[in-house]
A and B are shown apart, each in its own frame.
Chain A
Amino acid sequence: DIQMTQSPSSLSASVGDRVTITCRASQGIRDYLAWFQQKPGKAPKSLIYAASSLQSGVPSKFSGSGSGTEFTLTISSLQPEDFATYYCQQYNSYPLTFGGGTKLEIK
């Protein structure tokens, strides 16, 4: 199975900041990497697929990059509604696997 490791596991930031979350795959997954946002008590929301493509309706403040084994999610100009937990997922091979999550908290 491909292991997905996210760092950091938690992150404190202020409104207006720019933050970057990293996701590493235990083996190459080309660009078959997605990012999701989840708020407490809610279902995940799809943000990015194919490492860098935004889902419809997702603001351009979210951006993704990477290929192979290392990927990043960057969120610019943080707003209160952006504070949530973020997950990466590889869909290159079965079983599909998720990272452990990064909890983004307000400083």
Chain B
Amino acid sequence: EVQLVESGGDLVQPGGSLRLSCAASGFTFSDPYMDWVRQAPGKGLEWVGRSRDKTNSYTTEYAASVKGRFTISRDDSRNSLYLQMNSLKTEDTAVYYCTRAIRDRNGYGIYDYWGQGTLVTVSS
């Protein structure tokens, strides 16, 4: 059974840093793309970024709103995905979800499983 479990959410001051983790199980972790998606309170879904699969050297993509501040990494030995968040702003307050994206034959990632989310609150 595929499971994604996020952790690390917390209350942090503006300008601070936080690292989120997503523990994966039930599949070969190096195979799929892995994404982070966030949802501000009462708002819609916003894509944060992607780590491609091992075949694509785990290269990354980011939303403009987080590029240069957030870094996605993964550790296959721990079956874990990470989101390092620096220079946090109040507008980064959201529930952060990790998602699995299965690569189709053309290299596009299709979301199938989502974690339960972890809440990050940026406030003084």
Q: Identify the A interface with B (CB < 8 A).
A: 32, 34, 36, 38, 42-46, 49-50, 55-56, 87, 89, 91-92, 94-101
**A residues less than 8 Å from B104 (CB atoms):** 50
Contact with B111, one of A36, A56, A94, A101 (Cβ below 8 angstroms): A36
- Tell me whether A87 and B45 are in contact (CB under 8 A): yes
Question: Roughly how many angstroms separate A95 CA and B115 CA in the complex, as a whole number?
Answer: 21
- Tell me whether A43 and B115 are in contact (CB under 8 A): yes
**A residues less than 8 Å from B117 (CB atoms):** 43
- Tell me whether A100 and B111 are in contact (CB under 8 A): no
**Known contacts A43-B116, A44-B114, A45-B114; A32 and B108 CB within 8 A of each other:** yes
The size bracket of the interface on B is 20 to 34
Main secondary structure on B side of the interface with A:
strand
Q: What would 22 A/B residue contacts be, using CB atoms closer than 8 Å?
A: A32-B108, A36-B111, A42-B116, A43-B114, A43-B116, A44-B37, A44-B114, A45-B114, A46-B112, A50-B110, A55-B112, A56-B112, A87-B44, A87-B45, A89-B111, A91-B108, A92-B108, A94-B61, A95-B47, A98-B46, A98-B47, A101-B44
For residue B97, CB closer than 8 A to chain A, the reply is yes
Main secondary structure on A side of the interface with B:
loop
- Tell me whether A46 and B113 are in contact (CB under 8 A): yes
Report the tally of A-B residue pairs with Cβ distances under 8 A: 57
CB-based closest 8 A-B pairs: A96-B47, A43-B114, A98-B45, A49-B110, A101-B44, A95-B63, A94-B61, A46-B111
Question: Roughly how many angstroms separate A95 CA and B44 CA in the complex, as a whole number?
Answer: 15
Interface residues of B in 70-124 (CB under 8 A from A): 97, 101, 104, 108-117
**A residues less than 8 Å from B101 (CB atoms):** 91
- Tell me whether B110 and A91 are in contact (CB under 8 A): yes
- Tell me whether B45 and A34 are in contact (CB under 8 A): no
- Tell me whether B46 and A91 are in contact (CB under 8 A): no
